[in-house]
């Protein structure tokens, strides 16, 4: 479970990238965090994951405060950032072992998990190549695999579908469903409402740092005319004052 209470993050003296945000992501649900570019999605995720501090409010992951007990809180989740361009000099397999080291995954367990994940994502042959040589989609996959190698309870994914080919995107969505079915919380951001509609139990819409909707897709649709497209709904919800 992720609990965000009245969290605000400013850049500079008077710009609030995230403005008094409160959200609850329950165990067993897929929560989609939706908003246009610059809305505050990544900033929120950086706050949740302890990458950046914030001015006011509290955030807990499985009841552990990310500010007060950052290491314990970080053990609760796997995180996929919006850009997968990192550790480029490492080979895929070195990166996965590095992640497994950080999270103390025992040798025999990690080997089976790495083999299994590589097979699922069609990355078995690429593991001995450097991440530098990977395409964007392959980098996205290796980062995802690294986030899953310690089998975290909570998943936090920043625009995870971007750059994935249809097969991997489908696989990831299936994995998200399976993970939530097992009683875990899955949080992901997207600017594509269509993805959210098919996948999410609940969504939150953020615009200019403020949460402007929190509920199910059905509740969102009920605010609009029956025939309205998701595109129209999204544009209406996130248009300026």
Ligand X SMILES: Nc1ncnc2c1ncn2[C@@H]1O[C@H](COP(=O)(O)OP(=O)(O)O)[C@@H](O)[C@H]1O
Q: From CA 55, how far away is CA 67, in angstroms rounded?
A: 11
What is the size of the binding site for ligand X (CB under 6 A)? 10
Closest separation in Å from C-beta 158 to ligand X: 7
Which does residue 139 touch among Mg ion, ligand X, none (CB within 5 to 8 A, set by kind)?
Answer: none
Q: Is 68 helix (H, G, I), strand (E, B) or coil?
A: coil
Residue nearest to Mg ion (CB): 42
171 — phi, psi (to 5°)?
Answer: -60, -45
In sequence order, what are the residues at sequence separation of 6 or more whose Cβ sits closer than 8 angstroms to the Cβ of residue 103? 75, 149, 150
CA distances to 2, 13, 50, 102, 127 from 84, rounded to whole Å, are 24, 31, 18, 18, 16
Residue 11 in contact with ligand X, rule: CB under 6 A: yes
By beta-carbon proximity to Mg ion, the closer residue of 92 and 160 is 160
Which does residue 39 touch among Mg ion, ligand X, none (CB within 5 to 8 A, set by kind)?
Answer: ligand X
Binding residue (CB under 6 A) for ligand X from 32, 34, 35, 155: 35
Site for ligand X in 14-33 (CB under 6 A): 17
Site string for ligand X, 36-75 (x = CB under 6 A): -xxxxxxx--------------------------------
By beta-carbon proximity to ligand X, the closer residue of 45 and 220 is 45
Which does residue 40 touch among ligand X, Mg ion, none (CB within 5 to 8 A, set by kind)?
Answer: ligand X
Length of the chain in terms of residues written: 241
Stretch that binds ligand X, among 35-43, 59-67, 71-79, 125-133 (CB under 6 A): 35-43
CB 65 within 8 A of CB 7: no
Which does residue 179 touch among Mg ion, ligand X, none (CB within 5 to 8 A, set by kind)?
Answer: none
Closest separation in Å from C-beta 23 to Mg ion: 16
Smallest Cα–Cα separation from 34: which of 190, 230, 201, 159?
A: 190
Which does residue 35 touch among ligand X, Mg ion, none (CB within 5 to 8 A, set by kind)?
Answer: ligand X
Q: Is 148 helix (H, G, I), strand (E, B) or coil?
A: helix
Smallest Cα–Cα separation from 160: which of 179, 147, 178?
A: 147
CB 88 within 8 A of CB 131: yes
The percent of the chain in helix, strand and coil, each rounded to the nearest 5, is 40, 25, 35
Stretch that binds Mg ion, among 39-47, 60-68, 121-129, 135-143 (CB under 5 A): 39-47
Per CB under 5 A, residues contacting Mg ion are 41-42
Per CB under 6 A, residues contacting ligand X are 11, 17, 35, 37-43
């Amino acid at each position: 479970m992720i609990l965000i209470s009245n969290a605000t993050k400013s850049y500079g003296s008077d710009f609030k990238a995230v403005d008094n945000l409160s959200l609850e992501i329950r165990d067993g649900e897929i929560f989609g965090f939706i908003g246009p570019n610059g809305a505050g999605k990544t900033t929120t995720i950086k706050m949740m994951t302890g990458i950046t501090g914030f001015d006011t409010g509290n955030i807990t992951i499985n009841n552990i405060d990310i500010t007060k007990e950052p290491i314990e809180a970080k053990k609760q989740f796997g995180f996929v950032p919006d850009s997968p361009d990192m550790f480029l000099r490492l080979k895929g397999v070195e990166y996965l072992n590095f992640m497994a080291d950080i999270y103390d995954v025992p040798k025999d367990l990690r080997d089976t998990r790495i083999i299994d994940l590589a097979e699922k994502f069609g990355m078995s042959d690429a593991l001995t190549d450097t991440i530098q040589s990977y395409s964007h989609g392959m980098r996205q996959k290796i980062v995802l695999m690294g986030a899953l190698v310690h089998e975290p309870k909570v998943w936090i994914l920043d625009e995870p579908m971007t750059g994935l080919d249809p097969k991997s995107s489908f696989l990831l969505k299936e994995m998200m469903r399976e993970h939530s079915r097992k009683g875990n919380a899955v949080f992901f951001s997207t600017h594509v409402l269509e993805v959210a509609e098919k996948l999410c139990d609940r969504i939150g819409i953020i615009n200019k740092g403020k949460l402007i909707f929190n509920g199910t897709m059905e509740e969102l649709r009920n605010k609009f005319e029956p025939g309205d497209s998701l595109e129209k709904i999204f544009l209406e919800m996130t248009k300026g004052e």
